[in-house]
Amino acid sequence: MSATIVGGEFINPQRLEQKLVKAFETWTRFDVNDYFRDQFLEDKWPYDGETVRKNGETVTSPRNIFDLGELYRSGRDSFSITQDGKDITASWDWDAKNSSGRGYAWYVHEGLGTNLSPRQWTDVFQQNDLFNGSNASKALRSRVRTALNG
């Protein structure tokens, strides 16, 4: 036996949209920001070689990517949520500069220049296969369920 729904109507769709927007805002503000903090602070990144950081610490592998924290803070401090009509966007801009005045997030992320190994802290949000199995995805689904049931 099966059932097919051929029509329907949302009553008060604005309320549904408000709940989904609130779930997204809460998820990005808390869960995604916590995720990024952990990506920078956890000793989880494989690294070929040894580095003496500007903070004086000698690191090998696995390592974190915090060092003096400038790269992390540039993303944290740039976090914003914007809504334009029905579109809502959360954004982070890791625009910290290295000692030569150049932005270095891309070099750390991709393992370029003097960065021997990639530390791709944003990939989970850019690749569906990574996102679908991630804790960030589970947290989003939980936030949506909570918003719709509340």
- Whole-structure pTM value: 0.87
In the predicted model, is pLDDT for residue 40 greater than 90?
yes
How confident is the model at residue 99, as a pLDDT? Answer: 84
Q: Could you tell me the pLDDT band of residue 27, with boundaries at 50, 70 and 90? A: very high
Does the structure show a pLDDT above 80 at 76? yes
Q: What is the mean pLDDT of the chain?
A: 92
Distance separating alpha carbons of residues 66 and 69, to the nearest angstrom = 5
User: How is 128-141 classified by DSSP, letter by letter?
Assistant: HHHHHTSHHHHHHH
Q: How far apart, in whole angstroms, are the C-alpha atoms of residue 119 and residue 37?
A: 13
Here the tokens at position 9 are: 């109507």
Encoded amino acid at 30, one letter: F
Distances (CA, A) of 13 to 9, 32, 139, 147: 9, 27, 24, 14
Q: What angle, rounded to 10 degrees, do the helices at 70-78 and 33-41 form?
A: 180
The rounded distance, in Å, linking the Cα atoms of 53 and 131 is 31
Of the candidates 107, 135, 110, the one whose C-alpha atom is nearest the C-alpha of residue 36 is 135
**25, two tokens:** 């805002």
